[in-house]
Amino acid sequence: MAEWIEGIAGERVGDQAEILVHHYTQALNLAKAAGDVHVQELAEPTVRVLVLAGDRAAELDVAKARAYFAQALDLLAPGHPQRAPTLVKAGRSAGYAGSYDDGRRLFEEAITEARNSRDDGTLAEAMTLLASVGWSTGDAGTRALVPEAIEILERQPPSRALGRAYGSAAHEALSCGQPRLALEFCDKGATLARLLDDEIGIGLAGTMHGYTRCELDDLGGLEELRSAVRDGLRLGLGRSTAWAYGGLAEWTWWIEGPSPAAQVYEDYLRFAERRGLRGTLMHGKAEFLRVQFDLGEWDEIDRSTTDLLRWSEERGDRQVETTALINRAPVLLFRGAAERAAALLERLVELARLIGDLQVQVPALAVAGGIEQRRGHTDRAVAFVAEVDHLTGTHHGWRARILPSVVRILVSAGRVGEADEFMTGMVVSAARDQHSLLTGRAIVAEAKGEIEPARDLYQEAAQRWADYGFVLEEGQAHLALTRCLIALGNKQSAIEPLQKARAIFSRLGAVPLLNEANSLVQQVEARNLADRPSAIGWGG
């Protein structure tokens, strides 16, 4: 019986995993109960079947995979040559489920076991995966593990572990604002994955390559991300498909707008939930907040961040916590609760600096600057902007993504020249970045007293943001256009954009901006009521 099951395990485990596990574990338990001297002989094949079943389940049901690997580990004594590789598999599944403490513990034990057994391949794989847990929990000290792992693996025969390490290195390079270096690692990973016919590795490399192309303003990378999702779904892959979904959703947002991105995020979140990828699901929900902010779904942000912050506190997921705060704080700020937003500021800045990724540092510092500007703490607001300036350098994409906020802070502080300089030489391709740059130029033109050019720029910005779907920026462009038209004495033309601005701010509950808009009503009415008493209907 054992020999027969062992013979078919490799080819039928995908369909028969539970049956195989049942037969082996039942036989093993019966032997243990009977005091059979052949218990150890049964334990070895049972471990193999459990690991095979775990490998298969890892792509379909993470909770089930964790259970299989845990059973296998119960049968593997410390020092057993298969214990370290199984610890790595168990740790990976724990990380996918969002159980970061378990993942860290399993990877650290795997590193110890692999060092003792001189299993360099498993050692390096565990180091790479421990670094990925460190990324989620904000443990920047684990970053040094990835280059060390690559150095070890490059001395070994070509392996899938090396391909994964190249992917981690590409992700790290992107996080630090080095997309060209990331592209080099992507190419290495793709070449290796094709050599080894590694479908998961091919998918991961394709995702990173497509994402990096977009980061380098080659927007053809968006189609590469779509292909990575399609291929992952076709092949029935789990984590690599979710990773592709995340990249596709993000770049769909920046290139096509928040509404198309929301559809991708919904598919992404449903997929992650079905596969039991709990950690991925929560990261996706946190990232989705950014799109909801653009769409004006601010009440939903308030509800979602409560759950996300509870999760992050339970699991130590600092990436999720930071992303939640980045989106919750501006909702509070724009709704007039500046002091409640300020209560989040120190924690937000602390986390962003601790994590050290541009994707959280840059928006977090921009949000912090906006909070301090609104509170009248000009010097501190400008200091946050200076930090953003230093971090982004010549990385135009990241500068553009927070550009309107930065320019408003600098102009409010009377630093119009610095605001203009922040945009100097900027070249961007994604729609959101282009609209942000246009808005920044409009703000600076208005601040310089160049009202007619500012009017034209704001008019174009309002239309672009309306087409794109960023509700708040559309409203602010309408409000600024109203100011310009009043300054030019064209108050009749100011009626329509002012109505639009007030309607948007009212819907958002953006009280300070609504108050600013309302303060302009009297200026417009004073002129127009004298000329055409029945012409104006302001509505709510």
Domains of the chain: 1-153 (1.25.40.10), 473-540 (no CATH)
532 conformational bin, left if phi > 0, alpha if psi -120 to 50, beta if neither: beta
pLDDT of 39 over the 60 cut: no
Q: Give me the helices (H) in 335-357, please.
A: 338-355
Q: Which residue has the higher pLDDT, 175 or 539?
A: 175
**pLDDT above 70 (res 220):** yes
Q: Please report the pLDDT score of residue 274 as a whole number.
A: 93
Residue with tokens 């995702």, as numbered in its chain: 207
Q: How confident is the model at residue 52 (pLDDT cuts 50, 70, 90)?
A: confident
Count of alpha carbons within 13 angstroms of residue 150, beta-carbon side: 16
For residue 348, pLDDT over 90 is answered with yes
Closest CA to 288 of 250, 255, 314: 250
Phi/psi region, residue 489 (left: phi>0; alpha: psi -120 to 50; beta: rest), is left
Between 436 and 71, the more confident residue is 436
Query: 3-class SS at 127?
Result: helix
Q: Where residue 379 falls among pLDDT bands split at 50, 70, 90? A: very high
Chain centroid to CA 337: how far? 26
Give the pLDDT confidence score for residue 190 in this predicted structure. 93
Mean pLDDT over residues 400-424, rounded?
A: 97
The mean per-residue pLDDT over the stretch 465-485 comes to 98
Is the pLDDT score of 258 beyond 90? Answer: yes
The C-alpha atoms of residue 470 and residue 192 are separated, in whole angstroms, by: 41
107 vs 85, 382, 389, CA distance in Å? 10, 42, 37
What's the pLDDT score for residue 278? Answer: 92
Phi–psi pair at 2, nearest 5 degrees: -60, -45
Per-residue pLDDT at 528: 52
What pLDDT shows up at residue 533? 38
Residue 315 vs residues 79, 106, 222, 321, 473: alpha-carbon distances, Å: 30, 16, 32, 10, 35
Question: Does 239 or 22 have the greater pLDDT score?
Answer: 239
Q: Name the token pair of 244.
A: 């592709």
The residue-averaged pLDDT of 454-464 equals 98
How far apart CA 324 and CA 152 sit, in angstroms, is 37
Of the ranges 17-26, 291-300, 309-318, 393-402, the best mean pLDDT one: 291-300
Position 534 scores a pLDDT of 35
Over range 501-507, report the average pLDDT. Answer: 97
The single residue listed with the structure tokens 């600013």 is 516
Q: Does this model's pTM top 0.85?
A: yes
Binned at pLDDT 50, 70 and 90, residue 34 comes out as low
Inform me whether the pLDDT recorded for 523 exceeds 90. Answer: no
Report the pLDDT value the prediction gives residue 40, as an integer from 0 to 100.
65
pLDDT recorded at residue 15: 52
The mean-pLDDT minimum among 167-171, 267-271, 536-540 falls in 536-540
Confidence (pLDDT) at 25: 63
| Helix or strand run (H / E) with residue 288 | helix 278-295
pLDDT of residue 526 exceeding 80, the answer is no
Q: pLDDT grade, residue 540 (50/70/90)?
A: very low
Longest dimension (CA), the chain: 105
pLDDT for 13 beyond 80: no
Would you give the end-to-end CA distance of the chain in angstroms?
78
pLDDT tens for residues 476-491?
A: 999 999 999 999 999 8
Residue found under tokens 């907040």: 289
Give residue 529's pLDDT band: very low, low, confident or very high (50, 70, 90). Answer: very low
Neighbours of 354 (CB within 10 A): 15
Average pLDDT over residues 314-331: 95
Q: Report phi then psi at 448, rounded to 5.
A: -80, -5
Closest alpha carbon to 293 in 249, 329, 339: 329
**What residues contact 259, with CB distance under 8 A and at least 6 apart?**
295, 469
pLDDT at 51: 87
Residue 535 has pLDDT above 60, yes or no: no
Neighbour tally for 532: CB within 10 Å: 10
Residue range 106-122, pLDDT digits in tens: 999 999 999 999 999 99
8 Å CB contact between 156 and 162: yes
Percent of the chain with pLDDT over 90: 76
Structure confidence at residue 460 as a pLDDT band (50, 70, 90) = very high
Confidence of residue 20 (pLDDT cuts 50, 70, 90): low
Q: Residue 539: is its pLDDT beyond 60?
A: no
Please state, rounded to an integer, the average pLDDT across all residues of the chain. Answer: 89
Under the banding of pLDDT at 50, 70 and 90, the label for residue 5 is: very low
> Which band of pLDDT confidence, cut at 50, 70 and 90, is reported for residue 38?
low
Please tell me the distance from the alpha carbon of residue 276 to that of residue 293, in angstroms, as a whole number: 27
